[in-house]
Amino acid sequence: MPTHTVKSFDEELKRLMNLISQMGGLVETQVQDCIQSLAKRDSTIAERVIQGDLKIDSLEHDVNDLTVRMLALRQPLAEDLRRVVGALKISADLERIGDYAANISKRSVALNQVPPARPATGIPRMGRMVQQILKEVLDAYVEQDAEKALLVWRRDEEVDEMYTSLFRELLTYMMEDPRNITPCTHLLFMAKNIERIGDHATNIAETLYYQVTGRPLTAERPKGDTSAFTVVEPEN
Amino acid sequence: MPTHTVKSFDEELKRLMNLISQMGGLVETQVQDCIQSLAKRDSTIAERVIQGDLKIDSLEHDVNDLTVRMLALRQPLAEDLRRVVGALKISADLERIGDYAANISKRSVALNQVPPARPATGIPRMGRMVQQILKEVLDAYVEQDAEKALLVWRRDEEVDEMYTSLFRELLTYMMEDPRNITPCTHLLFMAKNIERIGDHATNIAETLYYQVTGRPLTAERPKGDTSAFTVVEPEN
């Protein structure tokens, strides 16, 4: 096999990984900004996040095109193949995270039309935790570090637990005062979106682990989100 | 190229498409059953759906393994490559639909612990619409029919509109009586899950269209879900 063919595959692989890193960087900023737009009640930031989602969608298309071309023309094997297929999956997760950030921002715009509800601090705290997890998994991707991916994968339980507790708290506020119902419903969905961002960061960790080691993370992840089973009754 | 190699690829492709159809059939049943468990307040059906999700996850792993093996050993090109990559994407969408059906069932179990809230009919109606859309896109997959895929893709707007109207309705019920808050919150998330099932059916339609025609469905899909911007104020 002539050397330039091999080199060329490496170059395409580098380009693919750069695209993922670029997407990851944008998505990190979007997540950070959507939490800011909520914490500061700032609709200008929110609008920027909503607009910014288009760029992420367009990068996902670039990743799709490049991976399909690499599969067709380069016919990669073993770890190379896992990297190309991995990029396809990771870009889909990043695109979804971007969608959730945009949805959180849309809800921030709605929340800014009504007086602030009491419990706006829990969600930014959960948001910062998920931001940190996302940052760590993207660092792990750049370093192709399976151990780091495993650490991230284990942390999702904390997010789920925080979500379940926020869910109960928000239901209680809604029962206290009907004026809390609209804002708290949006906060509930925002919390759910943040929890889902955590799930997608976990997916990325799973994909990365498989990509680097060739072994799946098969053990069932501990599940801390029991909110679907939650029943909260009004006091009176 | 020896004929048996080609035949063997066709056999693997048939097996891959059968796996997708099998997964699709199971997912259809799960969606139907989770709507039933809600409409009939039947926790036994709900438990069956929750358990049944494992089988779908395991089929997704089978699809993943087979596609990666086909990419590595068969190195397919053009339409064959699109079919293999398409199966990878479609199985991920089906797996998510299964997750949503299981989540709806978990919430049915929670709802059965409290007296029924008023508006349980809107969600089953929305559920039946999404069931129909899912059925049509799976039929389109079996027939590899791009035109049918396009028809499904356009119908998602109806689902979004129904969801937005249900969202407002449920907020109103919550404001009327605090005892409605817990059940209506679960109904809100169930409605959202059904709307997401519709989105994933739409994704499958997009993947199928590209797979058959080689052209992406690029035009922006009309968005009818404006619930993220919704503000409903209490009457008093």
Question: pLDDT tens-digit profile of B8-30?
Answer: 889 999 999 999 999 999 999 99
At B141, which CATH number?
1.20.58.220
- B235, part of any domain: no
Nearest to A228 among B110, B113, B179 (CB): B110
Within-domain flag for A234: no
Name residues 66-105 of chain A within 8 A of B (Cβ).
Answer: 67-68, 71-72, 75, 77-78, 81-82, 85, 88-89, 92, 103
The number of folded domains in chain B is 1
How large is the average pLDDT for residues A194-216?
A: 94
Chain B partners within 8 Å of A113 (Cβ): 231
* pLDDT the model gives residue B72: 86
Q: Which residues of B touch A95 (CB under 8 A)?
A: none
* Chain A residues with beta carbon closer than 8 angstroms to that of B61: 216
Cβ within 8 Å, pair B81-A92: no
Q: How far is B139 from chain A (nearest CA, A)?
A: 25
Q: Is residue B234 part of a domain?
A: no
Which residues in chain B have Cβ-Cβ distances shorter than 8 Å to A236?
A: 178
Across the interface, of A81, A109, A229, the residue whose CB is closest to B68 is A81
The arithmetic mean of pLDDT across residues A31-50, rounded, is 96
Tell whether the torsion through CA atoms of A143, A149, A150 and A156 is positive or negative.
Answer: positive
CB contact under 8 A, A231 and B110: yes
Domain that holds residue B137: 3-229
Tell me the per-residue pLDDT of A71-121, one tens digit each, with 9 for 90 and over. 988 888 888 999 999 999 999 999 999 999 999 999 999 999 888 876 567
**Domain membership flag for residue B100:** yes
Q: Give the pLDDT score at A114.
A: 85
* Distance of alpha carbon B135 from alpha carbon B129, whole angstroms: 10
Is residue B215 situated within a structural domain? yes
- The answer as to whether A46 is a domain residue is yes
DSSP state of A119: T
Q: Which chain B residues have a beta carbon less than 8 Å from that of A174?
A: 174, 178, 181, 185
The percentage of chain B sitting over the pLDDT mark of 90, rounded to a whole number, equals 74
| A154 inside 8 A of chain B by CB | no
Residue of A nearest to B179 (CA): A234
Domain assignment of residue A236, yes or no: no
Residues B186-215: tens digit of each pLDDT: 999 999 999 999 999 999 999 999 999 988
The whole-number pLDDT of residue B3 equals 45
Residue A80 within any structural domain of the chain: yes
Q: If phi over 0 gives left and psi between -120 and 50 gives alpha, with beta otherwise, what is residue B96?
A: alpha
pLDDT tens track for B111-153: 998 888 765 678 999 999 999 999 999 999 999 999 999 999 9
Looking at chain A, which residue has its C-alpha nearest residue B175?
A: A178
Residue ranges of the alpha helices (H) in A112-221? 122-143, 146-176, 181-213
